[in-house]
Chain A
Amino acid sequence: MTDGRSWNGNWKVRIHERLEARGFKSLTAFAEAHPSMPFVELAEELGKDDVAGVQVLRGLLAEAEQRKQVTRFVRDVLVRHLAESLPDGWPAKMDRSNRFLVAKAIAFWSTDTPDTHQERIDRARAALRANPPPPGWRPLGPDDELLLTLLPDEEA
């Protein structure tokens, strides 16, 4: 990874070919088979040197919009960013370094999610700050109980 080849050629076709070769009908199915795996690692699973994390995220968003499951996608994005920044879960000790790691995960979360959901995400961010999750909290997927409380599906 990170040699810049991800942007050569038609990367959307490339991703679909890789999905097909691995027996997945969609990126969503592929992502669900790898719950709480950071985007950069998801991308590496699809192509060690030529798929970028952001491409996987964009593809997942496009599919979520079609399926009208964007809120679920938004929860999934947080799960994966937390897994990347805080692989051992929510820190017990909020020192300067851990505070930054939490901030980075949350910053990327709200940076990577669509404008349509920003207000809800802002409220969820405030709620997370006011009522921090218990130490060790490590959501394993978008259906995590605490996450569902923070950001329930609109339909629900």
Chain B
Amino acid sequence: MNHRWMLGVVLLVLGCASVPPVQGTRRELHQSSRAGAGFRWQARPVARAAAPHLEQRAVRDAIGEVKNSVDGIARGLARLEDREAGIGGHGGVFTRYLEHGSGQVARLRGLLKDATMFVDASDAAADADLARGLLQMAGRRIEAALGSAAVRIQAGQVLMAQGHQDLPKGVREALGEGPEVRGMHETGRAGAGMADGPRHHVMPREHREWFERRGFKGAMDIDQFCVRLERSQHEAIHGGGDWRLERTWPGEWNQMIMKAMERGEARVRRLLTRNEVLAIVADRMKYYDIPMNFVRGSRR
């Protein structure tokens, strides 16, 4: 199947792709101009407790497709390595690129593994919005992997064409950490609906270890679960939107979330699982009307 086409479908399904607003009339002008690109989940009627199985299936298929593509690149690299060994007289001009290429393939495989993990988490989510939020996170990894894969193929051609000359700057950047970082930023923006607002952890950073003990590690660490909020929204939410107090009380969201977690554990008399923690977070985000649109935030 055509990878590009498949990815297009997946990204559309996930609301990452740039599509014109379907029902922009209900939105205020400044909102629709900023949120125009994608993220139509919220506009849909919320099917309670109905996970988007079709979307999950499509994303799993896309992961499979990209995995095949990466395997192809790996085989191509192996052939190039053989050739490089055969023409070793050139002083190993290509060697560093080939090594770099192998590293890239490993990174691509890592991205796909992470994508699979997010789809698994999405499968387990009872809340439809959360399931879709997790699928979006998977989609971004696939997009990043596919972006890098395309660049690899292109770079290979340029590499062959230019022989021992230095690679053009654009390709060097692309071979580096450019593509997936760019991919992340672009989809992050398109999907955010919150323009450029700063990123905020929904699971408080000062409790990182608490969340680590409940499975938020590696590709699923709490830095993956950030949201962009405008300053006014951030203050309002942290202030809890207190009916009377105009002044905000920073940290209320964090305290509220930790309180809910601790009370929940006190009742079940065991550690909450990662999926249960996510279910609590998802419920609270709906309750505070925070878009379930996760972007990666900084560790500190």
A→B interface (CB under 8 Å):
1-8, 11-12, 39-40, 43, 49, 51-55, 58-59, 61-62, 84, 99-100, 102-104, 106-108, 110-111, 125, 129
- Interface contact A40-B287, CB-CB below 8 Å: yes
Stretch at the interface among B71-79, B114-122, B169-177, B278-286: B278-286
Give Cα distance in the complex from A38 to B154, angstroms: 54
**A152 smallest CB distance to B (angstroms):** 22
- A11 to chain B: closest CB distance in Å? 7
Identify which of B241, B260, B261 contacts A52 (C-beta below 8 A).
B241
Query: Chain B's nearest CB lies how many Å from the CB of A119?
Result: 14
- Per-residue CB contact flags for chain B residues 268-294 toward chain A (1 = under 8 Å, else 0) read 100010001001100111111111100
Point out the residue from A4, A53, A61 that lies within 8 Å of B243, measured CB to CB. Answer: A61
Give A12 to B244 CA distance when docked, in angstroms: 10
CB distance from B25 to the nearest CB of A (A): 12
Decide: A108 and B289 in contact? CB cutoff 8 A: no
Question: Quick one: given A2-B42, A2-B129, A4-B194, are A54 and B288 in contact (CB under 8 Å)?
Answer: yes
Q: Given contacts A4-B289, A52-B287, A107-B262, could you give 16 more A-B pairs where the C-beta distance is less than 8 Å? A: A2-B42, A4-B291, A7-B232, A7-B236, A7-B241, A11-B241, A40-B287, A52-B288, A54-B240, A58-B240, A62-B243, A99-B268, A103-B265, A107-B261, A110-B259, A129-B267
Give complex CA distance A30, B210 in Å. Answer: 40
Q: Which residue of A lies closest to B265 (CB)?
A: A103
* A4 lies within 8 A of B129 (CB): no
Q: Are B279 and A104 in contact (CB under 8 A)?
A: yes
Interface of A (DSSP majority class): helix
Give B232's nearest chain A residue, CB to CB: A7
- Which residue of chain B has the shortest Cβ distance to A58 in the bound complex? B243
Please classify the interface of chain B as helix (H, G, I), strand (E, B), loop, or mixed, using the class held by over half of its residues: helix
Partner of A4 from the list B46, B265, B290 (CB cut-off 8 Å) is B290
A5 and B268 contact, Cβ closer than 8 Å, known pairs A54-B241, A107-B260, A110-B263: no
> What 7 A-B pairs have minimum CB-CB distances, sorted nearest first?
A103-B267, A107-B263, A52-B289, A6-B289, A62-B243, A107-B264, A3-B42
B223 to chain A, nearest CB (A): 21
Residues of A contacting B292 in the complex (Cβ-Cβ under 8 angstroms):
2
CA distance A102 to B256 in the complex (A): 18
Measured CB to CB, the nearest residue on chain A to B35 is A3
Are B243 and A108 in touch, CB under 8 angstroms?
A: no
Given that A49-B26, A100-B276, A111-B259 are known contacts, is A3 also in contact with B264, CB under 8 Å in the complex?
no
* Assembly CA distance A106 to B262 (angstroms): 11
Report the minimal beta-carbon distance from B234 to chain A, rounded to whole angstroms. 9
B18 within 8 A of A: no
Query: Whole-angstrom distance between the alpha carbons of A106 and B242 in the complex?
Result: 22
Cα distance, A100 to B267, chains bound together (Å): 8
Interface residues of B in 10-30 (CB under 8 A from A): 26, 28
CB interface residues, B 230-248, toward A, < 8 Å? 232-233, 236-237, 240-244
B193 touches A4 (CB 8 A): yes
- Minimal Cβ-Cβ distance residue in B for A108: B260
Residues of chain B within 8 A (CB-CB) of A12 are: 243
When distances are taken between beta carbons in the complex, the residues of chain A under 8 Å from B262 are: 107
